Structures are given as structure tokens and as C-alpha cells.
Amino acid sequence: MRPEPQFFIMGAARPGEGELTVLDYDTHPELSLRQMKNGFASFILHVFSSQSDPPDLDFGIRYYRKPKVRIGGMASVWPSIIGPYSSGAPVIVHQDVADALASGGFSGFQLKEVEMRTVLPRQLMLSRRPRYFALKTEKRIDYYLRVYERREDQYTFCYEARDFADPELAKMRSEYGRFEYRKIPMLESWDGSAFFHLGEREGFFGELGCSREFLELAYKKQWTGFAFHPLDALSMSFHDFRSRPWPPSLWYPKGQPD
């Protein structure tokens, strides 16, 4: 019998399944109208003066206290997690999730409250907006790749790569569809944190990992919109985990070797 997986990639269910998505995540500086007028006036004075050096245009830039997000989708209720449209932004989680993380002794994450500027679903535009928080991590797990050749539902091991610049690995990756890859975590690189990212990359959508401990809490609370798949699974599937059989040992593709 396959052992229960201990590490998972965490994300949000796809928008087509009735959930929400972050269309835009903005942390850029924001200027007041007065600051913009002062900066423009300084530039005009420089243009019509004999000064050779441009003025020091100190606009008094201030970064957003809260990142600004724009939300879209077809949901009629606020989910527990909202994933971004692309991999350039973190997931954001409902206050209920943030509160449980803060009180549950979890580690390896940062929460930053976001401000929703635009909500596209009509069902939610007039409803009370709950607080949401961007979830990131600075922790890391290293991994190596086990490469398998797939023929129908059978997988044959053919290579192990610990150097991602390996020419043989690059050759296999160029043969699209022939090979599939398992990410095998290096346990010595894990410090016990509940959240982590893979390799050098920060923990954004698609690369944010979590421990079995957090998955168990999400299952107990029946939080909506969450999607998990085992870190070492051959293929990824971001569907609401509540619709999948329990326990997670049943989430591996048919025929995947232990």
C-alpha cells in the first residue's frame, strides 16, 4: 500500500469551477496629486532654466500599506483561498484561514493584508467583503527529479537528475510528452516549517508547498477553494480537494510507482 504523502503543492481551484482569481496584484508606489504637481513643476523649471543638471525629483514616493488586488470569477460566495491568474503573485487567504494559522502554532509563512479595489462577480459586488491576506514563505525545500517514460498508464523509471542543468535532462525535456517527472524532496533541507517553496524561488502560486499538518487542518475545517497535490506526484491537478477521495495516498496518477 502506498504510504501517505507528507509534502504537498498548495494552490486554488481553477476559476472555471466557480471560484475566484486574482487578476491583478499591485504593490507599486502611489503618488498623491500634490506630489505629482510638485514633481512636474520642478521638471518644467529645469527645462526652461540654464541648469545643466536635472533637479532631484523627490516625489515623496510611498509604497502601499496594503497590496491592491483586483478579483474576478464566477463565485457567489467568498472562498477560503483565492489564487492568482498567473504565477507572479501569491495566493490570498480568508481571515478565517489567517486566524487559524496565527493561533495554530504554524511556522514558515508571512501574512500581509490586501485591499480589494475591484470585485467583478456581480453576486459579490454588494456583499460585505471579508479581510484577505497574501500568504508567502521564505522557507525552502530542495528536491531532485526522477524521470519516467510513460506508455499509456505505465511508467518506467529511466533517469535521476540532481543537477537541473544536466544536458541529458535537457534532452529529455525537449521530447515533449514522452517523459514525466517526480519532484523528490530532500528531507535534510526541510526545517519543519508548515510552508515552503521549491528551490530558489519564492513561494508563489504553483510553487508554494505545505506540510501534511496544514492539509489536515484544511480538511477538518472544510475550507473552500483549496487545491492540493502531493509534491512527488507525476502530474499536477488544481481541483478543489474536497471533491477528491480521502486519504491523499489516493491522489496519485494511476500506475505511478512508489
Which tens digit of pLDDT belongs to each residue from 135-159?
988 888 999 999 999 887 788 999 9
The domains of the chain are located at 1-28+69-142+186-252, 32-62
Q: DSSP string of 165-207?
A: T-HHHHHHHHSTTTEEEEEEE-GGG--S-SEEEETTS-S-TTT
Question: In this structure, are residues 182 and 233 in contact, taking their beta carbons and an 8 Å threshold?
Answer: yes
0.85 exceeded by pTM: no
pLDDT at 13: 81
Interatomic CA distance for residues 145 and 164, integer angstroms: 8
| Residue 114, CB-side half-sphere exposure with 13 Å CA sphere | 31
Q: Which residues contact 145 (CB under 8 A, 6 or more apart)?
A: 160, 161, 162, 164, 169, 181, 182, 183, 184
Per-residue model confidence (pLDDT) at position 67: 86
Which pLDDT belongs to residue 17?
Answer: 53
CA 256 to chain CA centroid, nearest Å: 26
Provide mean pLDDT across the span 46-70: 61
- pLDDT digits 0-9 by tens, 156-175: 999 999 988 889 999 998 88
What's residue 151's pLDDT? 84
In eight-state DSSP terms, residue 237 is: -
What pLDDT score does 90 carry?
A: 86
